[in-house]
A = this chain, B = another copy of it.
Amino acid sequence: MTASLTLHVDYVSQPSRSLVFLCRAIKAPHQEKQLSLVKGEHLNKPFADLNPFKKVPAVQDEDLLILESCSALRYIASKYDAAGTWYPADLKTRCKVDEYLDWQHLNTRAHGVGYYMNKVLLPMMKGSAPDMEVVEKHEKELGRVEELFASYFLGDKPFITGNTPTIADLQAATEFEQPQAAGYTLAKATKEYLERVREAVGAEMYDELHEAPKELAKKALQ
């Protein structure tokens, strides 16, 4: 039987990887439909008809279409995580997961995407050198993001809400890996955090899915 849960993903995309990590970690029956951002497959039919935002990831479950990755992570964890650890039901813990997911849009994500996009993807697509002024702006902001992440969100805990990783950690890790794949030097605390998430998810799978942004950056920056 075909699983009802379908993920439209490209491993080059940070939240695409988060969704795959979650589904595999909780063994949610699902199928992956691969799409190439570099080939522009997100901009053309049939995907563009499904998704007016023309972005990956996109998720379908029965008649439900979900076009935002944080919403999809919440939904999938709520429905398929029998142990209930990835999006805990406890109101205060859940609120802390949400708080990171809400914060990251204009912080980790905005500048992780900004750095990678301007250093790797745009120069590749345009065949020109990166606009280093823009790259450096994102680099500086990423430093601020790392500091707030370490001091406010982590504190002295291994993961955002304590000793167990949640969907917030998946979004954080995949985002921090992205600029690092393109040459950004992460702080020691961030690197140690990523190592904890890698172990929690499974090092082999973690590395396998992070090959895509690394390979692309290598090609672009050689």
Contacts and interface: CB of A to CB of B under 8 A. Distances in A.
Interface stretch (A3-11, A22-30, A60-68, A118-126): A60-68
Contacts of A110: 106
Interface residues of A, number: 29
A189 interface: no
A110 B107 CA distance: 12
A72 B91 CA distance: 11
A67 B106 CA distance: 14
B53 A102 contact: no
Given A91-B75, A105-B106, A66 B99 contact: yes
B66 A152 contact: no
A22 to B, nearest CB: 15
Interface string A137-160: 000000000001001100000000
Contacts of A40: none
Given A75-B95, A78-B91, A79-B91, A103 B68 contact: yes
Given A78-B91, A92-B64, A148-B52, A70 B106 contact: no
A210 interface: no
Contacts of A99: 66-68, 71
Interface in A78-124: 78-79, 91-92, 94-95, 98-99, 101-103, 105-106, 110
